[in-house]
Amino acid sequence: MYYKSIILGLGFLSLINCKSQKVKNNDIKVQVAENGDVKTTTKEGEIIYFKEGENKFLKDYQMNVTFKGISEDSRCPKDVQCIWSGVAVAQLEVMATTSRPGILQISSIENKGRNYHKSADFNGYTISLADVSPYPESSNSKSLKGNYKIGIIIKKAGEDTTTR
């Protein structure tokens, strides 16, 4: 009886670790604009990608967004087993046509106890972090600084901003 409960418990734990939800191919749409910008649309909204140091004026939102860099990247490397998955914190400088610039720090996870927030409000919009790449590897000993790319989702404040 004892062995059955151990096997059942281990089976349950392995099921928890499995990724139960997979993104269907028809849930993602990729568009390439004439200027070469790649925009991905998911159920949560349109993902706008930035390279580190890149500045874009987003006409639809009447705001200028600059991806300043990653201030913290403690994500667990792909090929390492960690106790905590870690976090990446992106710094964005945002400025609307009618406001002064502001610095937003948005994280890859939501953990209010450690002051990590997956989204931030600015000028009536909620800006959420949807993607941070490249993902760290243990064999990659060089710094990723300057090589980061992020994806953000911008929605009107108050709308559902749940991301993947």
Considering the domain boundaries, does residue 79 fall inside one? yes
What DSSP character marks residue 86? -
Considering the domain boundaries, does residue 3 fall inside one? no
**CATH, residue 152:** 2.60.98
Considering the domain boundaries, does residue 9 fall inside one? no
Q: What's the number of domains the chain is made of?
A: 1
Using DSSP, state whether 150 is helix, strand or coil: strand
Considering the domain boundaries, does residue 35 fall inside one? no
Domain that holds residue 55: 48-156
Task: Determine whether 64 is exposed, middle or buried from the number of CB atoms within 10 Å of its CB (0-12, 13-18, 19+).
Answer: middle
CA distance 94 to 67: 9
pLDDT tens digits in sequence order for the chain, 164 residues long: 776 777 766 665 555 554 433 344 445 455 555 555 555 655 557 899 999 999 999 998 999 999 999 999 888 888 888 888 889 999 999 999 888 899 999 999 999 888 999 999 998 999 999 999 988 887 764 667 778 999 999 998 876 545 44
Considering the domain boundaries, does residue 26 fall inside one? no
Considering the domain boundaries, does residue 129 fall inside one? yes
0.75 exceeded by the pTM? no
Considering the domain boundaries, does residue 30 fall inside one? no
Considering the domain boundaries, does residue 10 fall inside one? no
Which residues 6+ apart lie within 8 Å of 45 measured at CB? 153, 154, 155
